[in-house]
Amino acid sequence: MESIDGIVAAIYDVISGPAGGRDWDRERSLFLPGARLVPTRPLASGGAEADVFDVEGYIASRTPLFAAQEVWETEIARQVFVFGNFAHVLSSYELRRSSPAGGELPPVRGVNSIQLFNDGRRWWITAMIWDNERPGVAIPESLLAPPADQR
């Protein structure tokens, strides 16, 4: 992807859709070889845990979920920091999905932290980590509305 906007839009586009397959080749094309995807989640004990996937591991872990459920993830707002050949993007999102038993599950919001590298030709994702909003963990106001110049 030549632009940060393009690669962030592609992340959301690839995983969103009706129940069924996804364009995993497009997903693979977004990530630098060796990149990591790290979903996090709280534990009932009060701690947290994270899965650490390479792209193929992420695809294997999500294929059954996407086959069984509609998943629509849309960006709410974004903050971008660029320095030299790297960028850090904080991207808040809203996730809507169907229940495997039918109907729609309540929407979920969260934040993706995306690290990118530019090799002089294009941007590559090197790592992503994300977490969802929950009681006691709210998305900051600065990530709830796009900047005025992006509305």
**Residue pLDDT tens, the chain, 151 long:** 689 999 999 999 999 999 999 999 999 999 999 999 999 999 988 899 999 999 999 999 999 999 999 999 999 999 999 999 999 999 999 999 998 777 899 999 999 999 999 999 999 999 999 999 999 999 999 999 876 555 5
The CA distance from 52 to 39, in Å, is 7
User: Whole-prediction pTM value?
Assistant: 0.91
